[in-house]
Amino acid sequence: MLPLTGERTLPGVWHENYWFRRHEVAYLTALPLARGARVLDAGCGEGYGSAMLADDGADVVAADLDPSSLRNVGDRYPLVRSVLANLVRLPFGPGSFDTVVSLQVVEHLWDQDAFVSECARVLREFGLLVLSTPNRLTFSPDQEAGTAPANPFHSRELAPQELVDLVSTSFQVVELLGVHHGDRIRAWEQEHGSLPEQLLSSPSEEWPEHLSGFVTSVEATDFVLSPDRPEHALDLLLVAERGT
């Protein structure tokens, strides 16, 4: 298994399960948009999302700048082709893909404008971009726009309108959805307080039983996506179309 550094989440790690499921729901939302298409998973990380897309019928190329991640993809996910790639200078020709999926990646990039331009370049006419990122307003509520994030792995975090503005330079935005806690997590939080705050407040070996037990039970279905009140969303998921 890849090392858990804090830069990415991994499947099968019990104390990461909340964060993993929160990432997984974005890939599940992307499945029908990628089914049967030639897909670039830009910033694939461990590769579990690329495998989900491939298992659902997409022809997937997984791209990442980390060689260890790509070795993991090759070892674990035989349906996925992997390519070492700088996401702001993609090694693909114009119109190479029907869909670009890039989930929980853009906040890590040092040149987000170049990345969006590259996504547009490698997409065919009317191809789709599916992009997700933490909502700066809830993920880092004390961070002001334009200031360095507290997370050392993030370059720039985005609020909803900032994400729309970034993508609109090269795409027509089709939909902006927010990821929110569903009923089961909200009910737990009413009794115990904010789940993300408790997960971050102490090492997992110090978690009380009510916290550790609940974390291991979280599923992707415990999150909901909605176009309403994106400023209150945990994460943002944007779908955009490349024009002519």
The phi, psi pair for 237, rounded to 5°, reads: -130, 120
pLDDT value at 78 more than 90: yes
Give me the pLDDT at residue 244, please: 74
Q: What is the mean pLDDT of the chain?
A: 95
Give me the pLDDT at residue 57, please: 97
Give me the pLDDT at residue 41, please: 98
Give percent of the chain above pLDDT 90.
88
Q: How confident is the model at residue 2 (pLDDT cuts 50, 70, 90)?
A: confident
Give me the pLDDT at residue 162, please: 97
Q: Where would I find the beta strands (DSSP E) of 120-171?
A: 123-134
Pick the CATH number of 14-241 from 3.40.640.10, 3.40.50.150, 1.10.3470.10, 3.40.47.10: 3.40.50.150
Give me the pLDDT at residue 100, please: 98
Give me the pLDDT at residue 180, please: 98
Contact 16, 217 (CB under 8 A): no
Average pLDDT value for residue range 70-93:
97
The model's pTM is 0.94
Closest CA to 2 of 61, 78, 77: 77
